Amino acid sequence: MKSTIDASTWSHPGSSAINRMLFKKIALRVIPLIFLAYIFAFLDRVNIGYAKLQMLPDLGLTEGQYGFAAGIFFIGYALFEIPSNLLLDKIGARKTMTRIMVLWGLASAATMLVTTAQQLYILRLLLGIFEAGFFPGVILYLSYWFPSYMRGRVTGTLLLATLVAPILGGPISGLIMESMNGVSGLAGWRWLFLLEAVPIIFIGIACFLLLCDRPEQAQWLNEDEKTLHTELMARDRATLDPEKVNPHSGEAIFSALTDPKVYVLAFLYFSSALGTYAFNFWLPTTIQKLGVSSITHISLYAMIPFTCAALGMIMIGRSSDLRRERRLHYCISILFGAVMLSLSTLSTSLPLSLALLGGAAFGFSGAIIVCWAIPATYLKGKSAPAGIALVSSLGSLCGFAAPSIIGVARDLTGKDHAGMYAISLIMIIAAVCMLTLMPKHALAVGKPE
């Protein structure tokens, strides 16, 4: 096959266009399947928010029990995330992702069989264990393919799946629950868990067949393209602050566990994602309490704040990459989200509440994008798999904290206000931590070729 890209052209004045062609080719091959997988990953994680509307009266659960069931997923997720991510780096992406997706599909489908709160706890815990490592593994995997100055946009594209899932999956979930309710003697929420779990099993098999573990193994890149890619990635690493790269490049695989900056990164992710999980687990209930009774209508109204969140990811992620700046983008975004979330508690109007919640979603979703553009750049060498997994596993505990905080607040006061204020306060503290605890070299971004 005749070469289409000469590796020596990266220093040529016109090489930027050639480089963009290369990374566009890589993106079109690698991202779509991972994006689809992450849509179902997030859908299977949060569809319990819609199932709750029928499941609570059906099983006789309290709001607190629901909050614990929704959040216990993240305990298993956090405990097994680092081992799973280290396994990906050792045995490769294909085997790891296939194992993760098939097992979590089976666990999610089995949720249709629960009859008690204890059974629900066990299956949600297993779902977290099986899904552990998927997101940080994907972040690590994408860092093999894309340089630092593209990771904000690439990560933003991937995280859009967390919004496509509720935007498209919400109406589908509502339709399943209302149209399938009573079919074969089963409640609609039971059909929901089954029908939304099966596709991920087949996607996992597709990942094994279609993905490769490393760029040098990609048969769809010719030799000149592989050489150019290797040189561009090496050049990107060289343009980053050496003070940031060298301390990690030769250290043992668990060096990240003793790096205090990893824990700061975990808290920044925890804080920005806290609002996301409060949305996903409680937004349907919030809309219902504002006077909407139809599950299908609830899911359609929920599309509004989730669409705003998608805009935040796209606009803030792109702005952060183009300006090669992380600190202020994160702080402004998360502070805006905190203010809008607090103001939403004062409204009893459905349109105004949706507008305020949309503003909150815009802010903290943009902060998540900026936050996840940092670890793959800051953590290098053998510390990267453990470090990225540690950031994700500790940060993902927000998925336990958010529903638990709001669930306890609902049981004690009958309202969400105290829980929302606590979440907003944590976001404000995170902005202060970004400004005071993250060193400048940890936020360095390479220049595009």
Largest interatomic CA distance in the chain:
70
Is 198 contained in some domain?
A: yes
Q: Give the pLDDT of residue 8.
A: 40
DSSP string, 144-197: HHS-GGGHHHHHHHHHTHHHHHHHHHHHHHHHHHHHSTTGGG--HHHHHHHHTT
Reported as a pLDDT band with limits 50, 70 and 90, residue 445 is: low
Reported as a pLDDT band with limits 50, 70 and 90, residue 119 is: very high
Residue 3 pLDDT > 60: no
Is 368 contained in some domain?
A: yes
Is 11 contained in some domain?
A: no
Is 9 contained in some domain?
A: no
Is 226 contained in some domain?
A: no
What CATH number is given to the structural domain containing 134? 1.20.1250.20
Is 275 contained in some domain?
A: yes
pLDDT digits (tens, 9 = 90+) for 228-264: 999 988 888 776 544 444 333 344 445 667 777 788 8
pLDDT digits (tens, 9 = 90+) for 131-181: 887 877 787 788 888 887 787 778 777 777 877 887 788 888 888 999 999
Mention every residue, 6+ apart, whose C-beta is less than 8 A from residue 340: 356, 357, 359, 360, 362, 363
**Average pLDDT of the residues in 317-343:** 90
Reported as a pLDDT band with limits 50, 70 and 90, residue 339 is: very high
**Average pLDDT of the residues in 265-282:** 84
d(CA 376, CA 120): 35
Residue-range definition of the domain harbouring residue 169: 23-217+231-443
Q: Which residues of 204-230 are buried (b: 16+ CB within 10 A; e: fewer)?
A: beebbeebbbebeebeebeebbbbbbe
Min mean pLDDT across 12-26, 68-82, 314-328, 353-367 is at 12-26
Residue 362 pLDDT > 90: yes
Residue 371 pLDDT > 90: no
Is 6 contained in some domain?
A: no
d(CA 52, CA 358): 22
- CA 209 to chain CA centroid, nearest Å: 24
Is 8 contained in some domain?
A: no
Q: Give the pLDDT of residue 240.
A: 57
pLDDT digits (tens, 9 = 90+) for 13-59: 345 788 888 988 998 988 898 899 888 887 887 788 889 889 999 99
How many domains does the chain contain in total?
A: 1
pTM for the full predicted model? 0.69
| Residue in the block written with tokens 């098999």 | 205
pLDDT digits (tens, 9 = 90+) for 172-229: 888 899 999 999 999 999 999 999 999 999 998 998 888 888 888 888 999 989 999 9
Q: Would you say 9 and 229 are in contact if contact means Cβ atoms under 8 Å apart?
A: no
